[in-house]
Amino acid sequence: MKKRPTPEGKPSAQSSADSTALPGIERASEAPPADPKPNTRPAEALALLLRQGEIDQRDFLDGLGGWRLAAAIHVLRRLGWPIETVRVPLTLANGETANIARYGLDRAALYQREHQAGIIAPELAGWLALAAVVFLLHLLARWAA
């Protein structure tokens, strides 16, 4: 099926999908990763990735009883998770070699996404809220006196 040409002044779906309305974030790929829906294969794969660091189809099958790891990884990547793929050679029982995919979280990219400008760690947000309450109580006590 052919795509319809877009008018010159109107952006295509590809370019509009790359943009975001969040201030300070130039591309959607810079947004923090979203969590997958709970109790789904992508959520289980993410939990396994966070626990083990790297997984392959055998780990996914043994740990969760699931077959479609590549589909779960695809969903996680669409949600913004920085997942790297490494092809690992494997010798089969008949002597032939095959490549399997081993997936791992890019910890450096994940750390950078979590600590980019505009995102406050939950612990810091809690301390800031506590400080604001203490400050307001102090002002109220001075005003009442």
In a shared domain, residues 86 and 142: no
Q: Which residues contact 7 (CB under 8 A, 6 or more apart)?
A: none
Local structure of 21: helix, strand or coil: coil
In a shared domain, residues 99 and 45: yes
128 in a structural domain = yes
In a shared domain, residues 109 and 125: no
Residue type for position 143? W
Domains contained in the chain, number: 2
- Predicted pLDDT at 5: 61
For the purposes of burial, counting CB atoms within 10 Å of the CB of 3, is it exposed (0-12), middle (13-18) or buried (19 or more)?
exposed
In a shared domain, residues 45 and 78: yes
Task: Tell whether the model's pLDDT for residue 15 goes beyond 60.
Answer: no
- Predicted pLDDT at 16: 43
Of 83, 84, 85, 79, nearest to 33 (Cα)? 79
State the residue range of the domain holding 108.
Answer: 25-114
Retrieve residue 40's tokens. Answer: 């789904």
pTM of the complete model: 0.56
- Predicted pLDDT at 61: 86
